[in-house]
Amino acid sequence: MSAIVNGIINSTVGLLCSKLRDYTAESLIEGDLNDEKCRQIVVREIDDIKSKLDGLSRKDLLASLSFFKEGVTRLYISLETSGESRHQPSTLKAHLEHESEVEGATATRVEQFSVTQAERDALESVCKLSEIIGNLKIASKERYQSAKESFKKARELATEAFNNVALRGEDRLMASKLRIASRILEGLQDPEAAVHDCLLYLKELQDLPAVQAMFSVWQDSDKGITSRLRARFYKEKRNVNVESIQMINALLINLTIKFTNIKMGILNWPTIKISNDLHHPLLEDHALQRKFEEKKTKLPWYDECIRGYVCAVTSKGEMLSHVWDDDKGIKVTRRSGKHQLFCTVPSKICCFAVDENDNVYIVVEIPSCNENDPPRYKLLTLDSGGNVKADIFLDVIDEQLVDPRMSVTKDAMIVICCKHRKAMYICDSTNTRQDYKFPFPFKDTRPGTFSDYSFTVSNKNEIIFTFGYNDENKLFLYIITIDGKLKRKVAVPFEREWNIILGALSVVFNHVNETILVSLFNGNLRNPTTTIFCFSDTGELLHQFDILGGYRQLLSHRANGHIFLVNHAEAIMLQM
């Protein structure tokens, strides 16, 4: 056979044993590796793994490895590659030799590298898998079906082993890798279904307390004397296990990008909870990030160009924004990236919001006939097609609004906030309840000095208000009742080099898990960074993580839980 089949087996089985990739590379440099030699290496490595697993408690894991080996053997005789003879020498040698000139000697065993170099080599192997799957052809359907049955049995037994709490952590990690490798090879004809299943397996693995504790020690190895002492014990074994989990993440994101149409949010990818922090294996794998940046890879949470300042998102994930050169128009950006006019109104649009049923509420400003009198304001209610359903005057607003923001509650109450007036206005869109207003209930604020602000409304109809002072290194979060009473105040410190004036602040409520998300764009850094803070609905800081790039606004939808992080050119899906 050719490098295609050898490569797919090498990369997938490489999840189970890091030596396999290097043995294969050594053989290729010594001379061409035909399919029989490669098959023998695969079988020998699986046997080597089995020899290290004894005891009755590991019988499921041993049986799973046996079925996996059987499946690999059957897969070799069931597949052929496009335009290549079964007995033709492998063409992978030249690629590896070229790669060695750039990346270093890939034939050297992993154990001789630092963890960083090992991760880079693992990543190269994972990328090869993504590049070759699409070229596979089935020569014998009967033999391929037989191989699938073997992989299915291997996966089921690996699942049994993974759920055996009596097994050591290393054995359960091996069981998880077996589940994933088996499911990938079982699902070559339907990679999208295979990836969905593997993401579930990955989540179960990364939710294990032992894995979370391992990453906690690994991540904090340079933080304080106690952490450094803890990190000295079992360092080599811990690094190997961490590398294995990072390699699984790299493999799955490559398969997702190249062979599926899966769209997901960053927070939908399995993460690792570490105390009050959140470790995102993809965001924090810098070698992988560099690989994506070099190849201009479009990750599954990036959306099309949106061209404008976005203000709201619908249940379909479509975005509504101001028309760039028209203060009386709103456009919609479809999921396909196409733009079209949503509506045009007779007066200037001040702000707008979308409810859970995709009704759009627009506050428009109507100039006064007398230049000494303030303008009047009207609330327009439109359906999801842009047709006006109702309009009412907002007499509670008796002064001109400057840079107002708005949100809508679950019972169709409109909340309008004006920093310049230091007030909030509560208006009933159904015109059946009394409108009212109240001043900011912030007794310790210095009016006019905070440089950016944002607010949202929770499932409990509580107002979540956040802002930052330019001369203080703190992010302030206030939880306010709908009648204007301060319920809780939270102050979160951030890095001193951050500058609110050069950045942007935004807050949304996550209606899926009832948490508060705050984005803080740091425009003062050479490489723009946006930090996401996650709070409980009572204001407790749960975790935070960084995203490269400058994103100015968070958007969420109550009904389906969509959360987007956007700037004037693109959007990142945090949650789908």
Instruction: Tell me: pLDDT of 538 over 50.
Output: yes
Higher pLDDT among residues 80 and 405, named by residue: 405
Q: What share of the chain is helix, strand, coil (3-state, %, to 5)?
A: 35, 25, 35
> How many whole angstroms from its chain centre is CA 258?
17
**How many whole angstroms separate alpha carbon 53 and alpha carbon 55?**
7
Sign, CA dihedral 341-347-348-354, equals: negative
| Span 175-190, average pLDDT | 87
Instruction: Tell me: pLDDT of 470 over 70.
Output: no
The tokens for 367 are 């100039």
Beta-bridge mates of residue 269: none
**How many whole angstroms separate alpha carbon 55 and alpha carbon 520?**
53
Instruction: Tell me: pLDDT of 359 over 80.
Output: yes
Closest CA to 285 of 184, 228, 215: 215
CB 352 within 8 A of CB 342: no
| Span 308-313, average pLDDT | 72
Instruction: Tell me: pLDDT of 460 over 50.
Output: yes
Report the pLDDT value the prediction gives residue 485, as an integer from 0 to 100. Answer: 94
Instruction: Tell me: pLDDT of 35 over 70.
Output: no
**How many whole angstroms separate alpha carbon 180 and alpha carbon 195?**
9
- Domains, the chain, in order of start with CATH, read 1-80+117-295 (no CATH), 302-439 (2.120.10.30), 445-575 (2.130.10.10)
Percentage of residues of the chain with pLDDT beyond 90: 24
Report the pLDDT value the prediction gives residue 375, as an integer from 0 to 100. Answer: 93
In three-state secondary structure terms, 372 is: coil
Instruction: Tell me: pLDDT of 369 over 70.
Output: yes
CB 459 within 8 A of CB 444: no
Lowest mean pLDDT among 104-113, 178-187, 382-391, 408-417: 104-113
For the question of whether the overall pTM of this predicted structure is more than 0.85, the answer is no
Report the pLDDT value the prediction gives residue 498, as an integer from 0 to 100. Answer: 54
Report the pLDDT value the prediction gives residue 274, as an integer from 0 to 100. Answer: 81
Instruction: Tell me: pLDDT of 564 over 90.
Output: no
Report the pLDDT value the prediction gives residue 204, as an integer from 0 to 100. Answer: 94
Q: Residue 538 CB: number of other CB atoms within 10 A?
A: 12
pLDDT band, very low/low/confident/very high, at 120 (cuts 50, 70, 90): very low
**How many whole angstroms separate alpha carbon 313 and alpha carbon 465?**
20
Report the pLDDT value the prediction gives residue 426, as an integer from 0 to 100. Answer: 96
Encode pLDDT of 121-171 as tens digits: 444 544 454 455 555 666 778 888 998 999 999 999 999 999 988 888 888
Q: 162: burial class by Cβ within 10 Å (0-12, 13-18, 19+)?
A: buried
Write the secondary structure of 390-425 as one string of H (helix), E (strand) and C (coil): EEEECCCCCCCCCCCEEEECCCCEEEEEECCCCEEE
The tokens for 276 are 């009050």
Q: Residue 148 CB: number of other CB atoms within 10 A?
A: 20
The DSSP string of 195-214 is HHHHHHHHHHHHTSHHHHHH
**How many whole angstroms separate alpha carbon 77 and alpha carbon 79?**
6
Instruction: Tell me: pLDDT of 418 over 60.
Output: yes
The tokens for 461 are 């109809």
Report the pLDDT value the prediction gives residue 453, as an integer from 0 to 100. Answer: 84
Which residues, in sequence order, are CB contacts of 553 under 8 Å at separation 6+? 309, 310, 311, 504, 506, 519, 565, 566, 567
Which residues, in sequence order, are CB contacts of 487 under 8 Å at separation 6+? 462, 479, 480, 481
Instruction: Tell me: pLDDT of 5 over 80.
Output: no
| Span 449-464, average pLDDT | 85
pLDDT band, very low/low/confident/very high, at 351 (cuts 50, 70, 90): very high
Report the pLDDT value the prediction gives residue 141, as an integer from 0 to 100. Answer: 81
Instruction: Tell me: pLDDT of 408 over 70.
Output: yes
The tokens for 513 are 């898990």
Report the pLDDT value the prediction gives residue 25, as an integer from 0 to 100. Answer: 41
Report the pLDDT value the prediction gives residue 390, as an integer from 0 to 100. Answer: 93
The DSSP string of 312-346 is EE-TTS-EEEEETTEEEEEEEE-TTS-EEEEEE-S
In three-state secondary structure terms, 133 is: helix
pLDDT band, very low/low/confident/very high, at 559 (cuts 50, 70, 90): confident
Report the pLDDT value the prediction gives residue 462, as an integer from 0 to 100. Answer: 95
In three-state secondary structure terms, 518 is: strand
The tokens for 569 are 């050119």
Amino acid at 418: C
Instruction: Tell me: pLDDT of 177 over 80.
Output: yes
pLDDT band, very low/low/confident/very high, at 363 (cuts 50, 70, 90): very high
Report the pLDDT value the prediction gives residue 238, as an integer from 0 to 100. Answer: 74
Distances (CA, A) of 123 to 75, 120, 289, 568: 24, 5, 11, 33
Report the pLDDT value the prediction gives residue 322, as an integer from 0 to 100. Answer: 86
**How many whole angstroms separate alpha carbon 304 and alpha carbon 569?**
8
In three-state secondary structure terms, 445 is: coil
Distances (CA, A) of 242 to 103, 272, 285, 390: 22, 12, 11, 58
Instruction: Tell me: pLDDT of 278 over 50.
Output: yes
The chain-wide mean pLDDT, for the chain, equals 75
Instruction: Tell me: pLDDT of 297 over 70.
Output: no
Instruction: Tell me: pLDDT of 444 over 60.
Output: no
What residue ranges in 470-514 does DSSP mark as E strands?
A: 474-480, 486-493, 504-510
pLDDT band, very low/low/confident/very high, at 392 (cuts 50, 70, 90): very high
Distances (CA, A) of 434 to 382, 414, 426, 561: 21, 12, 9, 30
Instruction: Tell me: pLDDT of 116 over 70.
Output: no
Report the pLDDT value the prediction gives residue 531, as an integer from 0 to 100. Answer: 85
Encode pLDDT of 70-97 as tens digits: 888 888 777 654 444 344 443 333 333 3
Report the pLDDT value the prediction gives residue 384, as an integer from 0 to 100. Answer: 92
Write the secondary structure of 240-309 as one string of H (helix), E (strand) and C (coil): HHHHHHHHHHHHHHHHHHHHCCCCCCHHHCCCEEECCEEECCCCCCHHHHHHHHHCCCCCCCECCCCCCC
| Span 530-553, average pLDDT | 84
pLDDT band, very low/low/confident/very high, at 442 (cuts 50, 70, 90): confident
Sign, CA dihedral 89-90-94-96, equals: negative
